[in-house]
Amino acid sequence: MNKYYPAALAILIILLAAFPAIGPEVYYLSFMFSVFMYVILASSWNFIGGYAGYLSFGHAAFFGIGAFATAKMATVFQLPPLLTMLASIPAGGIAALIALIVGYPCLKIRGPYFSVVTLCFAFVVDLAVKNIEYLGGAEGLWMKFMDLPEKTARTIMYEAMLLLMVITLAASWFLGRSRFGTGLTAIRSDEEVAETMAVPTAMLKIKAFVLSAFFPGVAGGLFAYYLGYIHADAVFSINISILIVLMAMFGGGGTWLGPIIGAVILTVVNEGLSTFAQAEIARIIYGGLFIVVTIFMPNGIIDFFRKRGG
Amino acid sequence: MKVKRGNFFSLLVIAAIICSFTLMTPAVGFSAGKPIVIGGSLPLTGAYAETGQWIEKGMRFWADEINSKGGMLGRTVEFKIYDDQSDVGKAVTFAEKAITVDKVDLLFGGYPGTAARAVMPVAEKHKFVYVSMGGHMKSFEQGYTYSFGAPPLMGEWWYEGFFHWLATVPADKRPKRAAVYTINNPVGLSLMDSINRWTKKLNIEIVINEKYNAPLTDATALIVKAKQSRCDILFANGFFPDGVTTMKAAKALGYNPKAIVQGIGSVVPAWVKELGKDGDYVFSGTCLSGQLSYPGNDKLNAYVKKTYNLNEYPLYFGFGYSWMQTLEQAVAGAKVLDQTKIRDWLKANKVNTIAGPMTFDKRGLPEPINFGTQIINGKVELISPKNVQTKEPVYPKPAWEK
Amino acid sequence: MDAVLIFQSLISGIMMGMVYALLGVGFSLTWGVMHVIHISHGAFGLLGAYAAYSLLQYFGVDPIASAAMSVPLLFLMACGLYQLLIRPITRAKNIIMASMILTFGLAIILENIMALIWKADPRVLTPAYSSGALIVGPFYFQYPHLVGFGLSLVGITALYLFLKKTYTGMAVRAAWQQPEAARLYGVNLFQISMITFALAVSTAGAGGICLALLNSFEPHSHNLWLIYLFLVVIVGGVGNVIGTALAGLIIGVITGLSMAFLPFQWVNLVTFGLLMVFLIFRPHGIFKQEGL
């Protein structure tokens, strides 16, 4: 471990936090907001998917639950802007609670079967929100926007998402270096062996799952407020669930840096391509990226560079 | 080789910074006297690609036309169109990009309704005029002042034309029992408005009133229920895929109501092209049609005939064109590219579009525009109101051909 | 509740479920035998559907004939793709993961190539019998459903017999159940994998054509199809041909019955909910053991 590493990180975070001060256009704040969001999603998915090897294909469900819970609280209690953003924390709590309830039976199932149960779960939540008027309904929910200049409003959103990202990454960092993380890795390599070695597998898995649902829930709340109008299709989409998995695995699952790199690269490349290339061609190039990277770095980007670096 | 990880990290940071710089350079460099840039995003790939691409074609046709006439305010116009990949979040980000980075002069309207619902507040916050189809009545009731529907795609109005015609049918010949199947999304739900009002007025009993969630993979049960309940009018309030599934099941199961009314599935050119005879006699509505006598429609029809071999321009082609027409007249009227002045001009004046003349109320909506349609012999005919009628509707619907 | 409705709904549900099974059976094989989760499987199905569409449109070829034609063509194409793309990633530590990422990219590419060739407009496969029905007493058997059902039965049976009765098929099974032993007996694992992959892709093509007889399709439809794939394969048990067919039936029965008894609004929710519960209680699919 390089001793400058933490210092470099701290500087990077400060630079990111200070970024709005140089007066960038609103779009950059928004774009970075979405980059942070995907870093949060991929990194928190990594708790259960990367470390423990339980590939959840329904993580958009927690993201969406957070979004709708926040929007609902904002409309029911007529919350002012700042409180709406804070409401995303209990919204994340709701997501975590649901993860606890669902995780208990689901985490007994292993491998691909777990993936498909979570996939079904995401559909169930999506359809429940659409069908039950009280939860948001098929019309979606509108939220009041901040009574502030647009740039200030977006800066607040940016800083909030950045803060959440830092917290998520810190959690991820400590998790990777704790006994908790070691236990999860043991589960991934061989759950039966881990059990015989007195690793409390059930407990660890459920903890990781709940934790990995909480952060996306909060991020969902912020995203809802960012959009101003929230519809089930925008947050529960299966594409988001798959994208989260791919981002984490693309960079390298089960590592701290992997999901970050995956999320950043894929978000930036996708955005850049939409700007510079014709629509279908852009998508084809984007698809080609997955193929090329996998063929040359079949174990993820991180692994590739580690091997190179020795 | 211990330092490599740190090196790699710094490499990444540098890469990230370079990437963000490339993103920061506005894609088009321009200044005063240069072309007027109209920006925004459309779903050019993904689930809504088909519609998004038709809107783009309509907009581009308008741009070619206006540029050949010398442009707007003496400047040529050009588009900065982003592909939002049918993602609402991306639609919002790209709208902000167009406004704040590309510093476009004007914003164009997006699709689908959910994206428009999310972009309308962005336009409002940045004080940019946003002429689009909107996201049905609810989106125009949020108090936005910069959003206009010219014309809007308004589910609440969609069946007005049809019902106006149905009211002219003698009471004993009208259908008595309705089966209503509605897709559970903003479009479907907004269609219920006119059905509820008019069925009461015309004494039609709604026997079945159900919603379904997309995808509708099989419509057998829907049709069997309607058939068993002896419903003699079927409202299939859906999109293309579920509409096709419903029609095929209705034919296969020999269900012959007096009328089949379809939501927005039958407005895409694919309906006639793919279903052929089986798509005939379906009633629907529209707010644009190549068969209207308003100036411009002939020209659009000639263009799509030549370029895409279609008899009439598709609805969304017309939408793209009509939104641009509205912007064009507003800019010409305001004489400057000042968004608030453009807005105020639109609020106070009349525009002439291919959908007819329009004036906008406080919400940014024109008077309800709707024409009843029926597909007869593979062609979308206008059946209502009387003064635009192109063909007498076929009613009751003939039995399916075997 | 009325018997005609229940029966009618059940029939079309089951026939539909069998079509999903044909589409899914290859997905199940590549997953079971090669540990490759083939995300672009549905996109290949869609490719078959588009090919059948063009053949019908321009040459009047019936979709059944197209299904037969598409099998060898897709087989050859898939052999090439295997050598080019799949084989290089077999050295990954986690083949499941690597294959998912790679084939996800492939799916995006295929989708957009199809969008460029056939445009984004939705298509409907309409042979002469596309909306007819065989009427038996009060019951209607819709032709597209019957054709899809028939083709699926033929396809799945053929695949099953191939794996059970032929030498190559047995080698595939051996390679899956005991890769080391198989290698010792001189089975070329790469060759077997290639055949498995190609077989899988060609059944996808046939399945795609069957599904296109039932619903309209667009370049992005494969995303939706992928969900059905996952469901039949998991319920049936990964790598299990008969299980996949049974899973198709089960899913068909669930949808059929819920269409008949429930408000339509709740059908999809109940289907997915029941599948979730099913998986929680039978976490390895229908059968206790893994097997073809």
Q: Does residue B1 register a pLDDT over 80? A: no
Q: Which residues does A274 contact at the CB level (< 8 Å), separation at least 6?
A: A282, B82, B83, B84, B85, B90, B94
Strand-pair partners of B183 = B212
| Position B402 in a domain | no
Report yes or no: A54 and A235 within 8 Å, Cβ to Cβ: no
- Interval A28-74: pLDDT, tens: 999 999 999 999 999 999 999 999 999 999 999 999 999 999 999 99
Regarding beta strands B379-384 and B371-376, do their DSSP bridges make them parallel or antiparallel, or are they unpaired?
A: antiparallel
Residue-by-residue DSSP string for chain A: --TTHHHHHHHHHHHHHHGGGG---HHHHHHHHHHHHHHHHHHHHHIIIIIS----S-HHHHHHHHHHHHHHHHHHTT--HHHHHHHHHHHHHHHHHHHHHHHHHHTTS-HHHHHHHHHHHHHHHHHHHHH-GGGTTTT-EE-PPPSS-HHHHHHHHHHHHHHHHHHHHHHHHHHHHSHHHHHHHHHHH-HHHHHHTT--HHHHHHHHHHHHHHHHHHHHHHHHHHHSEE-HHHHS-HHHHHHHHHHHHHH-TTSSHHHHHHHHHHHHHHHHHHHHS-HHHHHHHHHHHHHHHHHH-TT-HHHHHHHHH-
Distance from CA of A92 to the nearest CA of B (A): 20
Mean pLDDT for A177-186 is: 92
Its pTM stands at 0.92
Q: What is the pLDDT, as a whole number, of residue B2?
A: 39
B113 in C contact zone (CB under 8 Å): no
Asked if residues A147 and A155 have their Cβ atoms less than 8 Å apart, the reply is no
Nearest to B235 by CA among B188, B185, B169, B275: B188
Cis check: omega of the bond before B112, within 30 degrees of 0? yes
Q: What pLDDT, on a 0 to 100 scale, did the predictor assign at position B28?
A: 43
Mean pLDDT (chain B) is: 90
Q: Which pLDDT score is estimated for B31?
A: 43
* Inter-residue contact A112 to C234 (CB < 8 Å): yes
Q: Which residue in C20, C84, C218, C269 has the most chain A C-beta atoms within 10 A of its own C-beta, making it the best mutation to test that interface?
A: C269
pLDDT of A148 reads 85
Q: With contacts defined as CB-CB under 8 Å, which chain C residues touch A249?
A: 97, 100-101
CB contact under 8 A, A250 and C115: no
Domain for residue B4, yes or no? no
3-class DSSP assignment, residue B356: strand
Per-domain boundaries in chain C: 3-281
Do A191 and A204 contact (CB within 8 A), yes or no?
A: no
More confident residue, C65 or B267: C65
Q: Please report, for residues B94, B98, B343, C144, the alpha-carbon distance to residue A275 in angstroms, rounded to integers and kept in the order given.
A: 9, 11, 29, 43
Phi first, then psi, for residue B356 (nearest 5°) are: 105, 175
Write out the two tokens for A18. Answer: 């200070």
Q: Which position has the token pair 């029905």?
A: C133
Are A156 and A146 in contact by the 8 Å Cβ rule? The answer is: yes
The pLDDT assigned to C92 comes to 86
Phi, psi values for residue C263, rounded to 5°: -60, 140
Find residues 213-252 of chain A whose CB sits inside 8 Å of chain B.
223, 226-229, 231, 233-234, 237, 239
Question: Would the pLDDT of C225 be above 90?
Answer: yes
Q: How far is C29 from chain A (nearest CA, A)?
A: 14
How many CB atoms are located within 10 Å of the residue A281 CB? Answer: 13
pLDDT at A111: 82
Distance in angstroms (rounded) separating the CA atoms of residues A127 and B351? 42
Q: Which DSSP helix (H) or strand (E) runs through B22?
A: helix B4-24
**Is a pLDDT exceeding 90 seen at residue A136?**
no
Q: Verify that B146 and B181 share a domain, yes or no.
A: no
Answer yes or no: do B377 and B235 share one domain: yes
Angle, CA of C30, C32 and C36, to the nearest 5°: 45
Instruction: Determine the pLDDT at residue B286.
Output: 93
Q: Give residue C183's pLDDT.
A: 81
pLDDT at res. C284: 75
Q: How many CB pairs below 8 A link B and C? A: 127
- Numbered residues of chain C with Cβ closer than 8 Å to any chain A Cβ: 31, 37, 85, 88-89, 91-94, 96-98, 100-102, 104-109, 111-113, 115-116, 223, 227, 230-231, 234, 238, 265-266, 268-269, 272-273, 275-276, 279-280, 283-285
Rg (CA), chain C: 19
Mark whether B165 and B148 lie in a shared domain: no
Q: What confidence tier does A149 reach under pLDDT thresholds 50, 70, 90? A: confident
pLDDT at residue C286, as a whole number? 77
Residue B115 belongs to a domain = yes
- Does B225 sit within 8 Å of C216, measured CB to CB? no
Residue B164 sits in the same domain as residue B146 = no
Which has the closest alpha carbon to A69: A153, A161, A137, A136?
A136
Confidence (pLDDT) at B16: 52
Q: How does pLDDT run across B57-68, given as a tens digit for each residue?
A: 999 999 999 999
Whether residue B327 sits in one domain with residue B259: no
Residue carrying structure tokens 């379906």: B282
For residues B107 and B179, state if they share a domain: no
Domain interval for residue B46:
36-153+314-358
pLDDT at B35 over 60: yes
- pLDDT, tens only, B261-277: 999 888 888 999 999 88
- Is the previous residue joined to B314 through a cis bond, with omega within 30 degrees of 0? no
Q: Is residue B211 pLDDT above 80, yes or no? A: yes
Q: What is the pLDDT of residues B223-253, one digit of tens each?
A: 999 999 999 999 999 999 999 999 999 999 9
Q: Are B245 and B347 part of one and the same domain?
A: no
Q: Nearest-CA distance from A113 to chain C in Å?
A: 6
- Is there a single domain that holds both residue B71 and residue B134? yes
Tell how strand B177-183 and strand B205-212 pair up: parallel
Domain assignment present for residue B216? The answer is yes
Domain check: are B330 and B347 in the same one? yes
Q: Is the CB of residue A13 less than 8 Å away from at least one CB of chain B?
A: no
Instruction: Kindly state whether B50 is in contact with chain A, defined as any CB-CB distance less than 8 angstroms.
Output: no
In three-state secondary structure terms, B263 is coil
Which strands form B77-83's sheet, in the order they lie side by side?
Answer: B77-83, B36-42, B106-108, B130-132, B147-149
C174 pLDDT tier (thresholds 50, 70, 90) = confident
Dist CA B266 CA B270 (whole Å): 8
Mean pLDDT value of segment A118-126? 94
Q: Residue A145 has what pLDDT? A: 79
C257-285 pLDDT, tens digit per residue, is 999 999 999 999 998 999 898 888 887 77
What confidence tier does B7 reach under pLDDT thresholds 50, 70, 90?
low
Is residue B207 classed as helix, strand or coil in its secondary structure?
Answer: strand
Is residue C73 within a helix (H) or strand (E), and if so which, with residue range?
Answer: helix C63-81
For CA atoms B133, B134, B138, B141, give the dihedral sign. negative
pLDDT of residue A29: 95
Runs of H (alpha helix) within B143-205: 160-168, 186-201
Please count the structural domains in chain B. Answer: 2
Residue B314 has pLDDT above 90, yes or no: yes
Q: What pLDDT is recorded for position A306? A: 83
Residue listed under structure tokens 């926007």: A145
In this structure, the strands spanning A229-230 and A141-142 are antiparallel
Predicted local confidence at residue B241, as pLDDT = 94
Return the pLDDT at C25: 95
Q: Which residue has the higher pLDDT, B31 or B207?
A: B207
Domain of residue B240, CATH code? 3.40.50.2300
Chain A residues in contact with B22 (beta carbon < 8 A) = 272
Whether omega for the bond prior to residue B396 falls within 30 degrees of 0, making it cis, is yes
Interface A–C counts its CB contacts (< 8 A) at 121
Contact B252, B283 (CB under 8 A): no
How far are the Cα atoms of A40, B137, C206, C261 from residue C203, in angstroms, in the given order?
A: 39, 47, 5, 33
Confidence of residue B32 (pLDDT cuts 50, 70, 90): very low
- Residue B221 and residue C16: Cβ atoms within 8 Å? no
When pLDDT is cut at 50, 70 and 90, the band that residue A21 belongs to is very high
Roughly how many angstroms between the first and final C-alpha of chain C, as a whole number? 39
* Residue B194 lies inside a defined structural domain of this protein: yes
pLDDT at A1: 53
Kindly state the percentage of chain C with pLDDT values over 90.
66
What is the C-alpha to C-alpha distance for residues C211 and C159, in angstroms, rounded to an integer?
19
Residue A23 has pLDDT above 80, yes or no: yes
The C-alpha atoms of residue B127 and residue B110 are separated, in whole angstroms, by: 17
pLDDT tens-digit readout, C116-157: 999 999 999 999 888 889 998 888 999 999 999 999 999 999
Range C15-52 burial, b when 16+ CB lie within 10 A, else e: bbbbbbbbbbbbbbbbbbbbbbbbbbbbbbbbbbbbbb
Contacts of B306 (CB under 8 A, 6+ apart): none
What's chain A's average pLDDT?
Answer: 92
SS3 of residue C14 by DSSP: helix
Assess whether B255 and B121 both reside in one domain: no
Q: What is the largest CA-CA distance in chain C?
A: 61
- What's the one-letter identity of residue B99? I
Query: Read out DSSP for C178-215?
Result: -HHHHHHTT--HHHHHHHHHHHHHHHHHHHHHHHHHHS
Cβ–Cβ contact B9 with A under 8 A: yes
**Assigned domain for B186 exists:** yes
Q: Tell me the C-alpha to C-alpha distance, in Å, between residue A278 and each of B16, B82, C106.
A: 23, 9, 19
CA–CA separation, A289 vs A304, rounded Å? Answer: 16
Whether the pLDDT of residue C182 is over 90: the answer is no
Selected residue with higher pLDDT from B267 and A244: A244
Q: What type of residue is A277?
A: A
Neighbours of chain B (3+ CB pairs under 8 A): A, C
**pLDDT value, residue C13:** 94
Q: Is C268 on the interface with B (CB under 8 A)?
A: yes
CA B164 to the chain's CA centroid:
22
Concatenate the DSSP letters of all residues of B187-203 into one string.
HHHHHHHHHHHHHHHTT
A108 touches chain C (CB under 8 A): yes
> Which residues in chain A are contacts of C285 at CB distance < 8 A?
113
What mean pLDDT is predicted for residues A242-256? 91
- Per the domain annotation, does B336 fall within a domain? yes
Give the β-pairing of B77-83 and B36-42: parallel
Residues B55 and B71: their CA atoms lie apart, in Å, by 20
